[in-house]
Amino acid sequence: MKTKKWPFVYVGVITAITYIPILLTVVYSFNESKISSVWGGFSLKWYVELFRDRDIGEALANSLILAVSSCILAVVIGTTGALGMHRKKSRINDGVAYLSMLPIMIPEIILGMVFLSVFSFMGLPFGMVTLVIAHTTFCIPYIYSMVKARLAGMDPALEEAALDLGASPVRVFFDVTLPLILPAILSGCVLAFAMSFDDVVISIFVTGPTVNTLPVKIYTKMKTGVTPEINALATVMLAATIFILFVAHLLGRRKS
Amino acid sequence: MNKKKDNHWMLLAPIYLFTILFVALPILYMFLLSFLSRAQVWGVDFTFTLDNYKKILEPLYLDTFVQSLKLALVSTVLVALIGYPYGFFMARMNDRWKKRMMLLIMIPFWTSGLIRLYGWIIVFRSNGVLDKILQGMGLTEEPLKLLYSYPAVVVGMIYVLLPFMILSVYSSAEKLDDTLVEAARDLGASPFKAFWTVSFKLTLPGLLSGVVLSFIPSMGLFFIADILGGNKIVLVGSVIQEQVTKGRNQPFAAALSAVLMILTSLMIRLYRKITGTAKLENIV
Amino acid sequence: MSDVILQLNHIKKSFGGFPVLKGLDLKVNRAEFLTLLGASGCGKTTLLRIIAGLEDPDEGQVVLEGQDITTMEPNKRNVNTIFQNYALFPHMSVAENVGYGLKIRKVPRAEIKDKVEKMLYLVQMEGKGGASPNQLSGGQKQRVAIARALVNEPKVLLLDEPLGALDLKLRQHMQLELKRLQKQLGITFIYITHDQEEAINMSDRIAVMRNGILEQVGTPNEVYYHPRTSFVADFVGNANILKFHGETFAVRTENVLMNGEEACVHPAKVLEKSFAGGQLRILFLLEDGQQVVASRSGLDADMAEGSSVNIGWLDEHAVKVLDEGIYGDFGTSGEVTERQAAHE
Mean pLDDT by 10 residues, chain A (256 residues): 77 92 87 73 86 89 95 96 88 90 89 91 90 96 93 85 81 87 91 90 88 89 76 87 81 64
Class of domain B58-283: mainly alpha
**Contact status, residue B185 vs residue B191, Cβ threshold 8 Å:** yes
Contact B115 A237 (CB under 8 A): yes
**B195-204 pLDDT, tens per residue?**
999 999 999 9
Q: Is the pLDDT of residue B25 over 70?
A: yes
- What is the mean pLDDT of the segment spanning C89-94? 91
What number does CATH give the domain C233-343? 2.40.50.100
Q: State the pLDDT at residue C110.
A: 94
User: Helix-strand-coil percent breakdown of chain B, rounded to 5?
Assistant: 75, 0, 20
**Nearest-Cα residue of chain A relative to residue C50:** A1
Q: What are phi and psi of B151, to 5 degrees?
A: -55, -40
Tell me which chain B residues have a C-beta less than 8 angstroms from the C-beta of A88. Answer: 5, 8, 12
- What is the mean pLDDT of the segment spanning C225-237? 86
Q: Is the pLDDT of residue C159 over 90?
A: yes
Q: State the pLDDT at residue B279.
A: 42
| Domain limits, chain C | 4-224, 233-343
**C17-28 pLDDT, tens per residue?**
899 999 999 999
- Where residue C2 falls among pLDDT bands split at 50, 70, 90? low
- Taking Cα atoms as reference points, which of A18, A22, A222, A109 lies closest to residue B230? A222
- What is the mean pLDDT of the segment spanning B266-275? 80
- Where residue B281 falls among pLDDT bands split at 50, 70, 90? very low
Q: Does residue A103 or residue B126 have the better pLDDT?
A: A103
Give chain B's mean pLDDT.
85
Q: Does B257 touch chain A (CB under 8 A)?
A: yes
Range C33-57 burial, b when 16+ CB lie within 10 A, else e: bbbbbbbebbbbbbbbbbbbbbbeb
**Contact status, residue C41 vs residue C332, Cβ threshold 8 Å:** yes
Rounded to 10°, the helix B222-229/A214-224 angle is 30
Domain C4-224 sits in CATH 3.40.1710.10:
no
Q: Reduced to 3 states, what is the DSSP secondary structure of residue C263?
A: coil
Q: Has this prediction a pTM greater than 0.90?
A: no
- What is the mean pLDDT of the segment spanning C265-290? 84
User: In one letter, which amino acid is C340?
Assistant: Q
Query: Please, what is the end-to-end C-alpha distance for chain B in angstroms?
Result: 31
Q: Is the pLDDT of residue C327 over 50?
A: no
- Where residue B100 falls among pLDDT bands split at 50, 70, 90? confident
Q: Reduced to 3 states, what is the DSSP secondary structure of residue A241?
A: helix
| Residue A125 DSSP code | P
Cα distances from B21 to residues A45, A75, A95, B257, C245, in angstroms, run 48, 18, 14, 19, 93
Q: State the pLDDT at residue A254.
A: 65
Q: Which of residues 84-143 of C touch B (CB under 8 A)?
A: 84-85, 87-91, 100-101, 104-105
> Which chains lie within 8 Å of chain C at 3 or more CB pairs, if any?
A, B
- Taking Cα atoms as reference points, which of B257, C196, C175, B103 lies closest to residue A243? B103
Give the best residue of B15, B52, B249 to mutate against chain A (max A CB count within 10 A). Answer: B15
Q: Is the pLDDT of residue B120 over 90?
A: no
Q: Which of residues 138-197 of B touch A (CB under 8 A)?
A: 159, 162, 178, 181-182
User: In one letter, which amino acid is C163?
Assistant: L
Burial of residue B49, with CB atoms counted within 10 A of its CB: 0-12 exposed, 13-18 middle, 19 or more buried: middle
- Where residue C325 falls among pLDDT bands split at 50, 70, 90? low
- Where residue C146 falls among pLDDT bands split at 50, 70, 90? very high
**Nearest-Cα residue of chain A relative to residue C73:** A2
Range C145-170 burial, b when 16+ CB lie within 10 A, else e: bbbbbbbbebbbbbbbbbbeebeeee
Q: Which of residues 10-29 of A touch B (CB under 8 A)?
A: 10-11, 14-15, 18-25, 28
Q: State the pLDDT at residue C32.
A: 94
Q: What are phi and psi of C66, to 5 degrees?
A: 80, -5
Q: Is the pLDDT of residue B283 over 60?
A: no
Q: Does residue C93 or residue C2 have the better pLDDT?
A: C93
Cα distances from B223 to residues A60, A62, A228, B159, in angstroms, run 20, 21, 20, 13
List CB contacts of B240: < 8 A, sequence separation 6 or more: A109, A110, A113, B222, B253, B256, B257, B260
Q: Does C111 touch chain A (CB under 8 A)?
A: no
Q: How distant is the Cα of C282 from the closest Cα of chain A, in angstroms?
A: 42
- The span from the CA of B236 to the CA of B238, in Å, is 5
**Contact status, residue C291 vs residue C250, Cβ threshold 8 Å:** no
Hey, what domains does chain A have and what are their CATH numbers?
A: 1-43+233-256 (no CATH), 54-225 (1.10.3720.10)
Contact B194 C54 (CB under 8 A): no
Q: Does C45 touch chain A (CB under 8 A)?
A: no
Could you list the beta-strand ranges (E) of chain B: 37-38, 44-45
- Where residue B284 falls among pLDDT bands split at 50, 70, 90? very low
